[in-house]
Amino acid sequence: VLRNAIHVDEAEVERCVRDVMKEKKIEQNDTGFKKNLHISLLQISGYKKLYLNVENLRKVPYDSDNEEHEEQLIELWNLLMPHENLKARITKQWCDIGFQGDDPKTDFRGMGLLGLVNLVYFSKHYTNEARQILSHSNHPKLGYSYAIVGINLTEMAYSLLKNGALKSHLYNMVSGLPQMEHFHQFYCYLVYEFDKFWFEEEPESIMHFNQYREKFHEKIKGLLLDCDVILTLQN
């Protein structure tokens, strides 16, 4: 009964709570137990659903013929570079916000639309922080490619969600169904903390990025082992 209960939709949780309590001979009027079990089942089933939603977004390839995709890409530019107009859709200007070439669509191959949605979310909800970090990324000695690193951190957030490492964080954060919003918030935390970490570590050059990325990854995994953990930025 309990095994089935962690795979149900939100509408069926109440019935599952009754079934579990009946199976375990727990009084139905034990409201404390009933409430806690209800929240727990919502969180567990919600985590699985959130992963599927994130995975579905990751599987959507960036399509330059899709108007919505293009609008999000232009929105990212306008949020980060409000005083500079794009001279063309395909231009070296994209390198100014940390893409590798003159057409950003090629950089979204690994994480699909998820990478872009994350970048836009951070830039929209934490605009000052995003511009500040973009400015940091242009440091003459310790600089890095802002957008590329952002997509890399999307992969990190995605892998932590996939392997279950985000469970304590999300369960502590949401007494119910975790939403896409909560995944984006965790991503924002990673971007902000990685920038601090990078400048504290003072890498010899960007050529050592993978080494420091892994060190940062281990640090985050360590923090997530705390059963009381909540990793978010405060707006």
Nearest residue to 179 (alpha-carbon basis) of 73, 76, 52: 52
Judge whether 99 lies within some domain: yes
Judge whether 232 lies within some domain: no
- 48 and 82 in a common domain: no
Q: Which residues of 65-92 are buried (b: 16+ CB within 10 A; e: fewer)?
A: eeeebeebbeebbebbeeeeeeeeeeee
> How many structural domains does the chain have?
2
CB atoms near residue 29 (< 10 Å)? 8
Q: pLDDT digit string (tens) for 41-57?
A: 888 888 999 999 999 99
Q: pLDDT digit string (tens) for 178-216?
A: 999 999 999 999 999 999 999 999 999 889 999 999 999
Domain boundary among 10, 44, 59: 59
pLDDT of residue 234: 65
- 87 and 13 in a common domain: no
Q: Which domain holds residue 53?
A: 1-59
- 108 and 50 in a common domain: no
Judge whether 233 lies within some domain: no
- 177 and 112 in a common domain: yes
